[in-house]
A = this chain, B = another copy of it.
Amino acid sequence: MKKQAAQGRDENGRRASAGDRQASLIAAAASLFAAKGFNGTTTKEIAKAVGVSEALVFKYFPTKRTLYAAILAEKVTVNELLDAVEAAVTKRDDHRVFTMIASYRIRPGVDSTFLRLLLFSALEGHELSELFFGKHHKVFYDYLAAYIRTRIEDGAFRSVDPLLAARAFIGMVVHHRLLHEIFGVPMLQSHEATVATYVDLFLAGLTKLPVSRKSSSRRSR
């Protein structure tokens, strides 16, 4: 008699392949770590989330940390965006460039676990946090900064530190997500409307007046 037969099976009642198991363990662990932090999550919980014995977790990942590392390694995929923006960049379409970056950065959904994971890893001081940050976050600053620099050289933007300006802009956007996703602050408007306002505000502050040469703070075109 198979008293407790169909436990660690996939949806067809068959044994899962190593790859699948690994993937679903990573997925489950990611969402648990994101929800409760590394220290706040137990290996037993992870196993249970996948419907598998705790021991199996350790068959795939020798330690809990290894599992954590696997998550971070997996979660590195940014370049889709940068490709998408490319067109707008060559056309010098400021509005579009900023809007696209902001939308991407602000978009909820799929990886709202992402931000939490990033924060947790930074706060808990995991070694991989830097890699994580570098590969996933830093790209944006550098990319946007480069664009701002060329626009300054074009004479279209005022002369500011490009990296600082990039951080300022991304700061607005990321902070918005933070408020919403971490602190549960209700949104005032739709994502789109918010992005539009931010982009508008920021570009107005950055764009050079075409005719006037009043040196300091004025707004744009």
Contact with B along A185-221 (1 / 0, CB 8 A): 0001100001011101111111111000000111111
Copies of this protein in the complex:
2
- Check if A15 is an interface residue, CB within 8 A of chain B: no
- Check if A95 is an interface residue, CB within 8 A of chain B: yes
Chain A interface secondary structure, helix, strand, loop or mixed? helix
Smallest Cβ distance from A126 to chain B, in angstroms? 11
Given A175-B167, A205-B219, A221-B218, also A197-B122 (CB < 8 A):
no
Smallest Cβ distance from A220 to chain B, in angstroms? 7
Complex Cα distance A119/B170, Å?
19
- Check if A147 is an interface residue, CB within 8 A of chain B: no
Among residues of B, the one whose C-beta sits closest to the C-beta of A133 is: B183
Smallest Cβ distance from A102 to chain B, in angstroms? 11
Determine whether the beta carbon of A220 is less than 8 Å from that of B201: no
Residues of B within 8 A of A36 (CB): 124-125
Residues of B within 8 A of A76 (CB): none
